Amino acid sequence: MLVAGVDVGNSTTEVAFARVEPGRAPAFLLVLRGPTSGPKGSLACVDGVRELLDRGARRIGEPARRLLLAELHPVETGLLELGRDEEHGLGRAAIARPASDTPSGLGVGAGTLRRLAELDADPPGTPVVAVVVDEDFDEAAAILKAARDAGVRLAGAIVRGDDAVLIGNRVDRALPIVDEVRDAAELPAGAHAVVEVAAAGESVVELSDPLRLAVLLGLEREETGDARRAARALAGRRAAIAIRAPGRAVAAREVVPAPFAGLEGPPPAVGALRELQLDGTRHDDLLDAFWTPLPAPPEDARLRRSLVRRHAVGVALLARGEAADLVAALDGLAEGGATVVAPEPAAAVRGAATTPGADADPLVIDLGGGTVDVHGAGGTAVAAGAGELVTRLCGGVLVCERSLAERAKRGRSARVETPFVLHHEDGSRSFLAEPAPPRSVGRLCVVEPRGLEPLDAPLAPETWRGLRRAAKRAVLAVNAGRALAAAGGAGAGRVVLLVGGCASDAEVVDEVAATLEEGGAVVARGDVLGRHGPRAAVACGLVLLHAERR
Amino acid sequence: MIVALLAPAEAAAARGLAAGCEEEGVPLDVRVADTGSSALALARSAARESALGLGAGGADGRLVLVLAAAPGRAYLEAPARDARAFGHAISRIAARRPLPSRT
């Protein structure tokens, strides 16, 4: 009988086709793999399974008569983030925000906000921060020069267009001018404003200091908490503005709820947390919960601050789930129906045991999309958080969509230094035969066989590699350790076999091995059936367990 | 320095190109050519003159950038009416800074 072992993972669905006859070892014919077409355990997964079954039937010449499934538990993975706001309210009386990275001038200027037509509205000697909205740069420069000649004390300027350097070159190259302030026309005339510009390659120091920010804006003592948050948001930026509206009472501080209550400190041991309240939603009947912040480079304080101030936490929750609807739906895809054969870890162990040279009952760590599963002599443990959580963290660092983060997670990167020169992650350079696309110049790119995929994050390749590996370490190596501890540990000298999609990533294997080898374990990569590498352990294991029970 | 050669009919693009490059802090030598060449031919000539190997040409309502090391085709193109943004873009290529997302 032709059977199909079906492993519906969080990211990937794998199907192993084999002919099973009583008293004989299964004859494996084909293993197919495709993206999972919906949340694991949901009915939407059926489409992806059907597509693989149809492909298999076409290749083999007959359909699978029976589907063999593993018990499924859904995993929810997400990135919770508090600090992405670009503008920070300071009570209701003032705002502070970063500005474009192409300012003019240097230093801090503070004064009264005035449009160009009203530069002389204040008493002589009053410092003024000019607001340029619709005026052409030549016209704006002429007005500013004339005002200065007439005795106006110009402290800085805020420009709606991308004209700061053009205006600065014509008026005063030292005058702090920030540009690309899209809502410049709405800034309140008469308000007290502060403009700060740092030298190229440096960041603002006055507005990123909470006490200086409070002093410069004349904030009350009750508002210093808001100033702390705002100053943190401006740290690492080359230019920034802060404005306090005139004549308004100091607003009462709003109490900011702690959306990540419950996620303080490291996650508990596997299975120790049964319920969790997150963002107003109660999650109960949990089998495990895991969380970790965005990785931050210890050697770069500026980047570390900019990542830390986002208060982003990657979270994975493993709930006790029922996939009865999915099993019922899959039942209709094969003449002999669908059967749940075993839990995923048991199937993974059986599949991994086909690795040439492995023990018959090896200690296996399955590094999947949603969970890290350990199955050994001491028992089984399933830890929430695996490849998908690494993808979320990578997407959080790169600020990009999930599919691009997935590619960036797996691929090496390079910065396109010039149209012809690539700067690689190890610091080496290579020359391109054809010029890189204009969109990639000056950017960090994922290097793929089909070309360069630009990323927006302004990171050096070496820095991104460090963050990427740190994300893999924080999730997969830490979770492998958690799961192994819950399953009774490995013991010195014990061979641990890594299987699962993440085990095909050499960086992941390095990180997990480095952690486990500290405890004396010996880490090896699975090679399912001696030809599939670390993939398809569950799908093949389901077939083997089914055959052995017949 | 980037060199730009414009056909007489596109002379008006000079101000925008210069402003775009000045805002990015990249020097530009922009001239009106006295020949009726295409934008690509003008850009190739300009690229040969440019110490940075970056030449811009403007004719027939379009602006192109050519790399001296790959003169066979235009590296960047834009309508002549977008001269300011094109100036930003070519100077960012010269300075090895990412193109603005709106380009």
* Digit-coded pLDDT (tens) for A501-528: 999 999 999 999 999 888 888 899 999 9
pLDDT given for residue A89 in this prediction: 58
| Dihedral Cα A124, A128, A130, A131, nearest 10 deg | -120
Confidence of residue A261 (pLDDT cuts 50, 70, 90): low
Look at residue A308 in the predicted model and tell me its pLDDT.
Answer: 78
CB contact under 8 A, B24 and A166: no
Phi, psi values for residue A268, rounded to 5°: -75, 180
Please write the tens of the pLDDT for every residue from A93-129.
567 777 788 899 999 999 999 999 999 888 888 999 9
Query: What pLDDT is stored for residue A88 in this prediction?
Result: 54
3-state secondary structure of A397: helix
Of A303, A270, A274, nearest to A286 by C-alpha is A274
Res B102: pLDDT? 44
- Please give the angle made by the CA atoms of A367, A373 and A377, to the nearest 5 degrees: 125
A266: which residues sit within 8 A by CB, 6+ positions away?
Answer: none
Task: Answer whether A366's CB lies under 8 Å from A372's CB.
Answer: yes
| Chain B residue closest in CA terms to A100 | B100
The tokens for A266 are 């490291």
- Predicted confidence at residue A274, as pLDDT, reads 73
- pLDDT category at A91 given cuts 50, 70, 90 is low
Averaged pLDDT, A70-82:
74
Residue A174 near residue A225 (C-beta atoms within 8 A)? no
**What is the average pLDDT across A495-504?**
93
Q: Which residue has the tokens 């089998």?
A: A287
Q: What is the pLDDT along chain B (103 residues), one digit of tens a residue?
A: 999 999 999 999 999 999 999 999 999 999 999 877 999 999 999 999 999 999 999 999 999 999 999 999 999 999 999 999 999 999 999 999 999 764 4
CB contact under 8 A, B99 and A417: no
Q: How far apart are CA A329 and CA A337, in angstroms?
A: 10
Q: Do A438 and B88 touch (CB under 8 A)?
A: no
Average the pLDDT over A128-136 and give the result: 95
Q: Residue A160 phi/psi, 5° resolution?
A: -75, -45
If DSSP codes are grouped into helix, strand and coil, which group holds residue A27? Answer: strand
Q: Is A166–B88 a contact, with Cβ atoms under 8 angstroms apart?
A: no
Q: Is A457 exposed, middle or buried (0-12, 13-18, 19+ CB in 10 A)?
A: middle
Nearest in space to A177 (alpha carbons), one of A190, A189, A162: A162
A311-349, pLDDT tens digit by residue? 788 988 887 766 677 888 888 899 999 999 988 888 998
Asked if pLDDT for residue A92 goes beyond 60, the answer is: no
Residue A210: pLDDT band (50, 70, 90) is confident
Chain B residues in contact with A169 by the CB 8 A cut-off are 22
Q: Are A259 and A279 spatial neighbours (Cβ–Cβ below 8 Å)? A: yes
Nearest Cα residue in chain A from B100 = A439
Q: Which two tokens stand for residue A384?
A: 């929430």
* Span A159-164, average pLDDT: 93
- Mean pLDDT for A40-56 is 90
pLDDT for res A253? 42
- What average pLDDT does this structure show over A466-483? 95
Structure tokens at A183: 């809502």
DSSP assignments along A322-335, one per residue: --HHHHHHHHTTST
Mean pLDDT of chain A: 87
Residue A264, pLDDT score? 73
Query: Ramachandran region of residue A197, left (φ > 0), alpha (ψ -120 to 50) or beta?
Result: beta
Integer Cα distance of A406 and A66 in angstroms:
33
Predicted local distance difference test score (pLDDT) of residue A143: 96
Average pLDDT over residues A434-441: 95
Pairing of strands A444-448, A192-197: unpaired
Contact A344, A350 (CB under 8 A): no
d(CA A435, CA A418) in angstroms, rounded, equals: 8
Tell how far CA A309 is from the center of its chain. Answer: 15
- Mean pLDDT for A18-47 is 89
Q: At what angle do helices A461-472 and A506-517 cross, to 10 degrees?
A: 60
Minimal CA separation from A355 to chain B, in Å: 47
**pLDDT of residue A87 exceeding 70:** no
Percentage above 70 pLDDT, chain B: 97
Residue of A377 and A241 predicted with greater confidence: A241
Instruction: Output A93 or A33, whichever has higher pLDDT.
Output: A33
| SS3 (DSSP) at A174 | coil
Residue A375, strand partner residues = A364, A380
- The single residue listed with the structure tokens 């702390």 is A228
Are the beta carbons of B70 and A162 separated by less than 8 Å? no
Size of interface A-B (CB pairs under 8 A): 51
Asked if the model's pLDDT at residue A435 lies above 70, the reply is yes
Residue in this structure with the two tokens 């031919």, named with its chain if needed: B41
Domain B2-95 has CATH 2.40.40.20: no
8 A C-beta contact, residue A128 and residue A152: yes
Of B84, B71, B77, nearest in space to B28 by CA: B84
Q: How many residues does chain A have?
A: 550
A163, A439, A442 member nearest B96 (Cβ): A442
B88 contacts A418? CB cut-off 8 A: no
Which chain A residues have a beta carbon less than 8 Å from that of B76? 438
Query: How far apart are the CA of B75 and the nearest CA of chain A, in angstroms?
Result: 7
Query: How much is the pLDDT for B97?
Result: 92
Angle between the N-to-C axes of helices A210-217 and A224-234, in degrees from 0 to 180, rounded to the nearest 10: 110
Which chain B residue lies closest to A162 (C-alpha atoms)?
B23
Name all domains of chain A by residue range, CATH numbers in brackets: 1-74+321-357+530-550 (3.30.420.40), 78-83+257-319 (no CATH), 88-244 (3.50.30.70)
- Residue A346 has a pLDDT of 87
Nearest CA in chain A to B65: A438
Residue closest to A223 by CA, chosen among A40, A95, A309, A347: A95
| Percentage of chain A exceeding pLDDT 90 | 56
**Of A9-13, A52-56, A305-309, A366-370, highest mean pLDDT:** A52-56
